[in-house]
Amino acid sequence: MAIRAYQLLSEQKMLKGEDLDYRICHLDVMFSTQLIWRIENYRSLFNEAKMGKRLTVFSPPFYSFKNGYRMAASIALYGDGSGKAKHNSIFVTILRGEHDSLLHWPFACQVTFTMIDQKPSTEQRENVVVSLKPNITKENRPFLGRPSGERNPSFGIQKFVSLEDMKTKDFVKDDTCFVRVDLNIEDVPKI
């Protein structure tokens, strides 16, 4: 009985250590101007989107920089709006964060989305890269202003990567694709 209790305790410590390792490894993701988002089970998620069951997949939350804007990316794998059934659509949303009262509003950082080509590194990769500079207008305040709820509505690109390219190019390997989100924070006033 004592051996089994010791084994359980050892397993718990190991799991806790793995959890801490995971958190430490992902700190740079949380406080970086770049998110590399791994989307697993692509085919299943795509089929769910096509059938209208799960239209949007959300990334884990990330920060634009340490103590910066808290955000999440989302992708509509079967498209949204003018991109529906022809392209996937990619968005970002501003989430309520701990330091919002210190940040400059409205959000004005250029956002660059990249669908990463997974060809071997010895070949020429053909990433799809699309940038979006927020248009600061009164109509866009709900998207770019300081969140009054848990999150703002999303903004982004309705025609990101064509569904044909997703099938025929090397964006999906081992049922996984990678999307990079880069934020240009050069013009953001310092806290």
Looking at residue 33, its pLDDT comes to 74
Its domain, for residue 72, covers: 31-184
Whole-number Å distance between alpha carbons of 121 and 119: 6
**Do residues 8 and 94 both lie within one domain?**
no
Looking at residue 93, its pLDDT comes to 97
Residue 191 lies in a domain: no
Residue 82 lies in a domain: yes
Residue 142 lies in a domain: yes
Of 19-28, 142-151, 162-171, give the lowest mean pLDDT range: 19-28
**Do residues 16 and 105 both lie within one domain?**
no
**Average pLDDT, stretch 161-190?**
93
Please give the model's pTM, rounded to 2 decimal places: 0.81
Burial class (CB within 10 angstroms; exposed 0-12, middle 13-18, buried 19+) of 134: middle
Residue 72 lies in a domain: yes
Residue 189 lies in a domain: no
Q: What is the pLDDT of residues 84-104, one digit of tens each?
A: 999 999 999 999 999 999 999
pLDDT at 9 over 80: no
Domain count, the chain: 2
